[in-house]
Amino acid sequence: MNTSNHEELEEIQNCDNDDIENAELEEPEGQSSMASWKSQITIRGLITSFFIGIIYSVIVMKLNLSTGLVPNLNVSAALLGFVLVRIWTMLLEKANVVTTPFTRQENTIIQTCAVACYSTSFGGGFGSHLLGLNRKTYEQVGVDTPGNTPITKEPGIGWMTAFLFVTYFVGLAILVPLRKLMIIDYKLSYPSGTATAVLINGFHAPKGDEMAKKQVHGFMKFFSFSFLWSFFQWFYAGGVQCGFVQFPTFGLKAWKNSGLKGQWFPESLPESSMKSLNGYRVFISIALILGDGLYNFAKILLFTATNIHATMERRSKKSHNQGPDDLKRNQVFVRESIPMWLALSGYILLAAISIIAIPFIFPEVKWYYVVVAYILAPTLSFCNAYGAGLTDMNMAYNYGKVALFVLSALGGKRHGVVAGLVGCGVIKSLVSTSSDLMQDFKTGHLTFTSPRSMLVGQAIGTAIGCVVAPLTFFLFYKAFDVGNPDGEYKAPYAIIYRNMAILGVEGFSALPHHCLHLCCGFFAFSVAANLVRDFNPKNIGRWIPLPMAMAVPFVVGGYFAIDMCVGSLIVYAWHILKTKEATLMLPAIASGLICGDGLWILPSSILALFKVRPPICMRFLERA
């Protein structure tokens, strides 16, 4: 997943850990009398988190159902939280109402709670493994496709909410006992968490207001432009294949040829069949995704294994050379510890509830599959969290794909597809949540925020997200034609994940003619591209595309690649012309563009629910 602050994170990642923790991380005033963890969680902070979480849930769901890729919005969540609370306190001060000071600890809790809320909209599987269970995806794959079991489960608010609650909360308890080991002993950098901490500490520094004003101005300007442009586009999308999104970028001739059928499959096959052109598109994208994912998976496991010993040696050498700021941060981090018995008993209790509930929701998933998942979860979560601390890459989706293939094969032809998709969701939720919590603990460590308040904030945000995410999904599901390959919300990963499950059941016999050779070639290209990016990053590597990003246009269309290309060119030119300004403003402006386009979904979905259609249909036709 590409992030809007990618360049900043690369710079942070390349620094020494000590330099990272000393950069713009000065001690807050009154450190010796810092308030307890309970006072860091405020009513205004929770209301702000709830508001940001709902808005970002809509934005993330829109991106999830259209392209399947969602950028890192942590920085913009921290920025928006700072702005909203500052505006609120200024209004109260003008009304002569006494308010408590707005601290960096409260800002950190707001960011943690909001991110936990909207992360559920993406990680919950509404555009991938859960949506892959419905009948529309089953029919798109092809009712006659071998291994495509007719067992389906239509989306429902009740069972989706229950599934999120029994899977997401277990992940919060897995690595809590290891937080001191990961943050203080191993001194893992967690670049995203560090970048967020640098931003929050910068806001609350003496010159923070000036920096925040510039970012807010840029955010609001591009937010307004993006929102109004989406509003303007809506007027011309009054029918099938209408609107600006249908603009033939490469000419009408190329657009016409895109529908021609080849000689490797009969012309009588429907487009949705996996034995037609759609099969090549989907399985080639799967090959790129698996090549990219497995390469990074192996790289991070190797990186983790080789660095643990070196980290322990470095820790023993540096333990007596810590500066006063490091010691104070560590003191705050361990002062209000989370009891070991609470974390372990919480994990066992929540896991037991999940083992009972998941087979009840999905009878195809045997209870012992879930038991094995929870036995392996702590080890998998540690590996993923350690790797994320070193590289900033959350590999939860790759752990989920491994579980998908294994459970699909174990489940057999009748139950394999459902068992694989559900098992993928269970493992991914467990591993991803624990890694995200460690990122937040790193932010809390660098902003002098109590780990107890961080855990409570994460739990509150997760609970809100488990309720908001299904409601947000159904806003789209009822207002738009989600899953239509010719529509705006293609949900590309739903059909990809279902086909991966079928591949786990049937093996290579599920592939269309010559597709295996093509998939092997693209898989090899994906691995080779990553090797070049890693071994020669400054010269050739930076010009090599990301295979994961290349895979998306195969399914959703070329517009995504064009958007990414134009945006990357703007970022590149800005960094060449004004490096400092670009580093400061790019995250805010990118967030504004994303939020403006995403927030237009609220009024457009309300109009769609009331059957209000755009008045104009704009099409592009070849001249006779």
Predicted local distance difference test score (pLDDT) of residue 111: 94
Full domain range(s) for residue 393: 6-10+36-609
Q: Is 237 helix (H, G, I), strand (E, B) or coil?
A: strand
The confidence band for 314, taking pLDDT boundaries of 50, 70 and 90, is low
Q: What is the pLDDT of residues 186-202, one digit of tens each?
A: 777 787 888 788 888 88
Residue 384 placed within a domain: yes
Residue 86 placed within a domain: yes
For residue 168, the tally of other CB atoms under 10 A from its CB is 25
Mean pLDDT for the stretch of residues 469-483: 93
Mean pLDDT for the stretch of residues 211-218: 78
- Give me the phi and psi of 617, to 5 degrees please: -115, 115
Residue 614 placed within a domain: no
Q: What is the pLDDT of residues 520-555, one digit of tens each?
A: 999 999 999 989 888 887 778 878 887 877 877 776
Q: How many domains does the structure of the chain reveal?
A: 1
Report how far Cα 276 is from the mean position of its chain's Cα atoms. Answer: 31
Record the tokens describing residue 115, joined without a space.
Answer: 């991110």
pLDDT averaged over every residue in the chain = 81
Predicted local distance difference test score (pLDDT) of residue 9: 40
Record the tokens describing residue 133, joined without a space.
Answer: 């269970």
Alpha helices in 392-507 (DSSP H): 396-446, 451-479, 492-506
586 in Cβ contact with 7 (< 8 Å): yes
- Residue 385: is its pLDDT beyond 80? yes
Residue 184 placed within a domain: yes
- pTM, two decimal places: 0.79
430 in Cβ contact with 171 (< 8 Å): yes
Record the tokens describing residue 211, joined without a space.
Answer: 């920096």
Residue 28 placed within a domain: no
Mean pLDDT for the stretch of residues 7-12: 41
- With CA atoms as reference, report the closest residue to 62 among 112, 131, 3, 126: 126
Mean pLDDT for the stretch of residues 241-257: 76
Residue 140 placed within a domain: yes
Q: Which helix (H) or strand (E) holds 196?
A: helix 191-203
Q: What is the pLDDT of residues 273-310, one digit of tens each?
A: 667 777 788 788 878 878 887 887 788 777 767 766 56
Handedness of CA 67, 71, 73, 76 (dihedral sign): negative
496 in Cβ contact with 284 (< 8 Å): no
Contact partners, residue 8, CB within 8 Å, separation at least 6:
195, 583, 587
Mean pLDDT for the stretch of residues 246-264: 70
474 in Cβ contact with 155 (< 8 Å): yes
Residue 615 placed within a domain: no
Distance CA 482, CA 271 (A): 17
Lowest mean pLDDT among 119-128, 244-253, 348-357: 244-253
Residue 31 placed within a domain: no
Q: What is the pLDDT of residues 421-458, one digit of tens each?
A: 999 999 999 889 988 888 899 998 888 898 899 999 99
